[in-house]
Amino acid sequence: MAKPIYVLNGPNLNMLGQREPEIYGSATLQDVQRLCEARAAVFGLEVVFRQTNREGELVDWVQEARAKAAALVINPAGYGHTSVALLDALKLLSIPIVECHLSNLATREEFRRTTYVSLAAKGLVSGFGAMSYELAIEAAARLAKAQA
Ligand code: DQA
């Protein structure tokens, strides 16, 4: 059985659909999960999809992904801009890491334009709303297959 793609979501993403819909869109996190599952299935892969508002829990899950995942898609949300601990955890992984954001960070406030996560990720998908996740899953699946 192939290892799944881990899709980890940081703080406030549980509020998707209600949270600044003009920036983040109307899809809920459950909608996003369904999109990820469907896109991964095209590659014959399953998804482990989680969200937390706690930095330490995100770090724990990244560590878990090290052995259990074929690839990691991560939307670190606000922690992407602040968390050295998350970067340190990501640096332990040898599986492909794809950073994912709903909004286009390059066009937003200065403090959102860079993330610590980018230092550990293979690449970044940003600005396509829920579609960012689908594109990130595709990248993660193809990178995982290439690495297998
Ligand atoms: C986000 C962008 C972050 O700057 C913000 O803190 C989020 C969501 C996005 O998906 O666009 O919570 O990661």
**Which residues fall within 8 angstroms of residue 102, CB to CB, at 6 or more apart?**
16, 23, 24, 25, 75, 127, 128, 129, 130, 132
What residue's CA is closest to ligand 1, atom 1?
77
**Euclidean distance between CA atoms 88 and 85, whole angstroms:** 5
- For the chain (148 residues), the mean pLDDT of every run of 10, in chain order, is 96 97 96 98 98 98 98 98 98 98 97 97 98 98 93
Write out the E strands in 36-144.
47-51, 71-75, 97-101, 123-126
Closest ligand 1 atom to residue 11 Cα is: 12
Q: How far is the CA of 76 from the centre of ligand 1 (A)?
A: 7
C-alpha–C-alpha distance, residues 62 and 17, integer Å: 25
Q: Is the pTM of this model over 0.85?
A: yes
Predicted confidence at residue 148, as pLDDT, reads: 79
Residues with CB under 6 A from ligand 1: 12, 75, 77-78, 101-103, 112
Answer CATH for 5-147 from 3.40.50.300, 1.10.357.10, 3.40.50.1820, 3.40.50.9100: 3.40.50.9100
Q: Quote the CA–CA distance of 74 and 10 in Å, as a whole number.
A: 8
Closest residue CA from atom 7 of ligand 1: 77
| Active-site residue set | 24, 101
Domains of the chain by residue range: 5-147
